[in-house]
C-alpha cells in the first residue's frame, strides 16, 4: 500500500484535439483521460490510497493547458463561411426571372368604385375609390346611399330595401306612422292562423287605446278581460259616453224572410232570472248579481236564430234583439186583443 505522502504522479492529458473531426464528438483519448481523473480522485482504489492532492492539482493544470491549446488551434467541425459561399454560388446558378412586356394594363371594377389611371401603356398608377353608387342587396349591401330621417328601412320588394315617408318612426312618442295625408293601416297575417294577438309585457298590465298624443284614453282592456269604452265611433255598434248602445240595421242591407208564428209560446218558454257568474269566471266577468237569460234557454224557446249553437268547446251566447223582437211581437198581439176587447165593450155599453 502506498503512503499518502508519496511523490505526486500527475495524469498526463492526451495530445490530440478534444473533438474528433470524424464524429463531431469528444475524442476517445480525452474520454479515457477524464475517466482516469475520476478514478484518481478516489481515496481508496483497489485497496490502495489514492494520489495526493498535489498530484490531482498537477493533472488538472496540465489538462486545462492542453484544452486551451486545442481550442485555439482546432478548426470548427463546419466551416460556415465556406458553406455560405457554396449556397450563394448555387443561387447564382439559377436562371434570372422572366421580365416580359405588355402594351396596356387596364383595371375594371363594380359600379360602387371609380377607377382612375387606367389603362397604363408605359408607366403610371392605378387608383380605386368609392363612386357613391350603393352596394346592391344581392352583394350584401342595402341598395341605398342615404336614409330618410326617422324613416324605417323596409323591403319594398324581394330585392330592394327602401326608406322614406311611406313609413316613419317617431322616437319621442315611439309611434310608427304612414305618410302625411294617408290613413295608416296595420295588420298581421299568417297562413293557417285564424287569430292573432296583441299583448302587454306583464299579465297585470292593461291594453289601452288612446288618441294620437296619448292624452285621452279611448278604450281599455284590463288584465282580467273587462273592456271599458269611453266613446266608440260609428260602426256596427256605437257605445256613447252616455252608455247608449245602437246597432246598424239598415233595411237596404237585408232581405226579409218571414216572421215567427207563435211568439206567445216562445215568450212563455223564456225563463228570465237572477244569477251570478261562477267562481271560475268571476275574475273575468265580475261578481255582480245580474238579471237576464241563459243562452241555452233562449235557443230552446226561440230557436238557433236567437242563440246559435257554438262550436265545440266555445261558450253559448244569444242575440238580445231576438228576445226583444219576440217580446214586441207578443206585446203587439196583446195590444190587438186589448183593442178588440175595448171595441166590443164599447159596443155592448151602447145597447
The predicted-structure confidence for 146-187, as pLDDT tens digits, reads as follows: 877 767 777 777 777 777 666 666 666 666 666 665 556 666
Question: Is 39 within a domain?
Answer: yes
The answer to whether residues 212 and 183 belong to one domain is no
Query: What average pLDDT does the chain have?
Result: 75
State residue 149's pLDDT score: 73
Write the CA distances from 217 to 181, 229, 230, 233, 242, integer angstroms.
Answer: 24, 9, 8, 13, 16
State residue 273's pLDDT score: 93
Listed residues 163, 190, 217: the one ending a domain: 190
Question: Is 198 within a domain?
Answer: no
Nearest to 241 by CA among 223, 225, 217: 217
The answer to whether residues 340 and 267 belong to one domain is yes
Question: Is 8 within a domain?
Answer: yes
State residue 61's pLDDT score: 66
Alpha helices in 177-319 (DSSP H): 263-269, 279-285, 295-301
What is the CATH number for 322?
1.10.10
Listed residues 27, 55, 73: the one ending a domain: 73
The answer to whether residues 234 and 268 belong to one domain is no
Alpha helices in 174-302 (DSSP H): 263-269, 279-285, 295-301
3-state secondary structure of 34: helix
Q: Do 8 and 51 meet the contact criterion of CB atoms below 8 Å apart?
A: yes
Question: Is 98 within a domain?
Answer: no
Q: How many structural domains comprise the chain?
A: 4
CA distance 269 to 262: 11
The answer to whether residues 270 and 350 belong to one domain is yes
Q: How confident is the model at residue 344 (pLDDT cuts 50, 70, 90)?
A: very high
State residue 4's pLDDT score: 46
Q: How confident is the model at residue 119 (pLDDT cuts 50, 70, 90)?
A: confident
Which residue has better confidence, 286 or 156?
286
Q: Which residues contact 129 (CB under 8 A, 6 or more apart)?
A: 113, 114, 116
Question: Is 272 within a domain?
Answer: yes
State residue 23's pLDDT score: 77
State residue 7's pLDDT score: 46
CA distance 307 to 310: 9
Question: Is 179 within a domain?
Answer: yes
For 46-98, the pLDDT digits (tens) are 455 555 555 656 666 666 666 666 555 555 555 656 666 676 666 666 666 66
Written as nine digits, the cell of 180 is 302625411
Lowest mean pLDDT among 69-73, 106-110, 224-228, 311-315: 69-73
The residue range of the domain holding 225 is 203-251
Listed residues 73, 88, 122: the one ending a domain: 73
Q: What are phi and psi of 290, to 5 degrees?
A: -130, 160
- 342, pLDDT greater than 90: yes
The answer to whether residues 234 and 275 belong to one domain is no
Q: Which whole number is the average pLDDT over 280-303?
A: 90
Amino acid at each position: 500500500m502506498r503512503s499518502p505522502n508519496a511523490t505526486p504522479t500527475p495524469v498526463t492529458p492526451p495530445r490530440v484535439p478534444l473533438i474528433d473531426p470524424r464524429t463531431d464528438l469528444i475524442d476517445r483519448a480525452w474520454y479515457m483521460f477524464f475517466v482516469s481523473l475520476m478514478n484518481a480522485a478516489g481515496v481508496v482504489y483497489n485497496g490502495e490510497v489514492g494520489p495526493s492532492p498535489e498530484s490531482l492539482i498537477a493533472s488538472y493544470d496540465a489538462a486545462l493547458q492542453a484544452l486551451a491549446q486545442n481550442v485555439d488551434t482546432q478548426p470548427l467541425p463546419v466551416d460556415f463561411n465556406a458553406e455560405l459561399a457554396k449556397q450563394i454560388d448555387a443561387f447564382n446558378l439559377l436562371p434570372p426571372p422572366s421580365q416580359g412586356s405588355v402594351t396596356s394594363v387596364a383595371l375594371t371594377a363594380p359600379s360602387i368604385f371609380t377607377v382612375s389611371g387606367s389603362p397604363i401603356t408605359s408607366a403610371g398608377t392605378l387608383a380605386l375609390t368609392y363612386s357613391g353608387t350603393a352596394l346592391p342587396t344581392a352583394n350584401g349591401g342595402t341598395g341605398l346611399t342615404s336614409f330618410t330621417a326617422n324613416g324605417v328601412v323596409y323591403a319594398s320588394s324581394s330585392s330592394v330595401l327602401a326608406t322614406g315617408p311611406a313609413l316613419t318612426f317617431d322616437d319621442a312618442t315611439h309611434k310608427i306612422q304612414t305618410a302625411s295625408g294617408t290613413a295608416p293601416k296595420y295588420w298581421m297575417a299568417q297562413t293557417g292562423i285564424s287569430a292573432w294577438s296583441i299583448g302587454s309585457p306583464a299579465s297585470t298590465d292593461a291594453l289601452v287605446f288612446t288618441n294620437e298624443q296619448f292624452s285621452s284614453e279611448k278604450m281599455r282592456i284590463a288584465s282580467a278581460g273587462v273592456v271599458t269604452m269611453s266613446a266608440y265611433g260609428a260602426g256596427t255598434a256605437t257605445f256613447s259616453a252616455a252608455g247608449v248602445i245602437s246597432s246598424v240595421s239598415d233595411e237596404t242591407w237585408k232581405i226579409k224572410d218571414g216572421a215567427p208564428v207563435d211568439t206567445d209560446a216562445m215568450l212563455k218558454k223564456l225563463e228570465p232570472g237572477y244569477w251570478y257568474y261562477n267562481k271560475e269566471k268571476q275574475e273575468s266577468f265580475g261578481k255582480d248579481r245580474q238579471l237576464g237569460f241563459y243562452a241555452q234557454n233562449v235557443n230552446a224557446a226561440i230557436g238557433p236564430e236567437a242563440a246559435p249553437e257554438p262550436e265545440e268547446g266555445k261558450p253559448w251566447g244569444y242575440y238580445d234583439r231576438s228576445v226583444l223582437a219576440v217580446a214586441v211581437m207578443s206585446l203587439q198581439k196583446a195590444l190587438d186583443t186589448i183593442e178588440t176587447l175595448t171595441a166590443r165593450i164599447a159596443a155592448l155599453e151602447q145597447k
